[in-house]
Amino acid sequence: MVVNALPMNIVGISFGVIGLQHYLLLAALLFVCGLLTILLKRNAIGILMGVELILNAANVNLVAFNRFSHGGGGALKLDGQVFAIFVIVLAAAEAAVALAIFLNFYNNFNTIDVERASNLRG
């Protein structure tokens, strides 16, 4: 026996089809989180994580626009997915180079606090 069962549509929000706006909202949220991480973190690894969040927001946009620009009919179009793979490869290369720089910085200063990077000026 169910007492006071509420429908899925409580406050006028439809839980039906996920549209392009939902993906854009997710990408905007990822972008803002990445930007705030870059601006607020003093740790170099935290800043690198913020950059990765921003690149993931771009990937969500690429794949979503690919899905909704080509529609559902016709041949399979993978433009957005291919560009997203390129961004993932670029992010992996960027992370490898950044981690090498961070390790070198840690060996010289025994910290990865980016405030100490002002000592590198010549």
Q: Considering the domain 21-113 in this protein, what is its CATH number?
A: 1.10.287.3510
Domain edges within the chain: 21-113
Q: Which residue has the tokens 């000026």?
A: 121
What sign results for the dihedral spanned by CA atoms 16, 65, 91, 53? negative
Check if the beta carbon of residue 37 is closer than 8 Å to that of residue 49: yes
**pLDDT value at residue 76:** 77
- pLDDT tens for 47-104 read 999 999 999 999 999 999 988 887 666 677 888 889 999 999 999 999 999 999 888 8
